[in-house]
Amino acid sequence: MSAETPEAPPVAEDELGGVLSKAERPPRAGAVSASLTLAWRAMLKIKHVPFQLFDVTAFPLMFTLLFTFLFGGALAGSPGEYIQFLLPGILVQSIVFITVYTGFGLNTDIDKGLFDRFQSLPIWQPAPIVGALLGDLVRYSIAAVMVIGLGVVLGFRPGAGVGGVLGGLALVLVFAFSLSWIWILVGLSVEKPESVMTTSFLLLFPLTFVSNIFVDPTTMPGWLQTVVGVNPVTHLTDATRGLMHGGVALADVAWVLAASAVIVAVFAPLSLRKYHEER
């Protein structure tokens, strides 16, 4: 014969009042607040995983040194002359390559189940993605400062001064922001973070090397010049060089801004839809 479970004694209302907060419930975090909080989280990840900072500093510096001293004498007569042509392009290449880490980090969080937790919170649901993008813009800026600083040490002298450098950097960041949406969609679509990196190589290597980052396209075969001419990285590099050295072609700037707007218009809705489908 089983013993009956004793009933719990009733709890007096005044006893509950002693343990429950009487303060008004704090307001729900808005879109801006939630996005900035998660952007700060993205920055704190660098503190706990310093290798992430290594990616945005060591590799851009290594590329700058290698291309300047390996090809500078052959292509421009001296490394000092070549750095004037190379640095705006290597800045573009470095930041364009770093954009893949947006999708890589996103897929890593999904793989660990962290985004399941985010999606269960009463916050603006796109905040984890927007926060990651904002945090990565800081990473891009760090990489840019490192590359430009090394370039100045190697003899880079922008004809348009500090204002031209800031204008060129701003344009590169706009394009990087738009390109990141492609990697967000990839990160939401593949199973493992390694797949994001593999997919990125298929696009980023031809996108950056089949351009005018390293050499003048007039030395290339005619058919290849046509390919280089329609490459958005070519227009971005031309616009960045023009802004930094003076004599910028507004058509190149407009082309980059238009291309960035089209990329965001296509891939941002697709990424957000994919993100909500994962819920």
pLDDT value of position 1: 47
Q: How far apart are CA 214 and CA 212, in angstroms?
A: 6
CB atoms within 10 A of CB 35: 23
**The tokens of 187 are what?**
């990160």
Residue with tokens 């500093």: 57
Q: Cα separations (Å) of 72 from 50, 207, 215?
A: 32, 22, 10
pLDDT value of position 8: 58
pLDDT value of position 264: 94
Q: How far apart are CA 101 and CA 132, in angstroms?
A: 10
- The set of residues, in sequence order, having a beta carbon less than 8 Å from that of 36 and lying 6+ positions away, is 131, 134
pLDDT value of position 15: 58
pLDDT value of position 278: 61
pTM: 0.83
Residue 21, exposed/middle/buried by CB under 10 A (0-12, 13-18, 19+)?
exposed
| Three-class HEC string of the chain | CCCCCCCCCCCCHHHHHHHCCCCCCCCCCCHHHHHHHHHHHHHHHHHHCCHHHHHHHHHHHHHHHHHHHHHHHHHHCCHHHHHHHHHHHHHHHHHHHHCHHHHHHHHHHHHCCHHHHHHHCCCCCCHHHHHHHHHHHHHHHHHHHHHHHHHHHHCCCCCCHHHHHHHHHHHHHHHHHHHHHHHHHHHHHCCCHHHHHHHHHHHHHHHHHCCCCCCCHHHCCHHHHHHHHHCHHHHHHHHHHHHHHCCCCHHHHHHHHHHHHHHHHHHHHHHHHHHHHCC
Contact indicator for 143, 46 with CB cutoff of 8 Å: no
Residues of the chain with pLDDT below 70 are 1-23, 25-26, 29, 48-52, 278-279
Residue with tokens 């969609």: 185
In angstroms, how far is the first alpha carbon of the chain from the final one?
A: 48
Over residues 123-181, the pLDDT tens digits come to 787 888 888 888 888 888 888 999 999 999 999 999 889 999 999 999 999 999 999 99
For residue 191, how far is the Cα from the chain centroid? 20
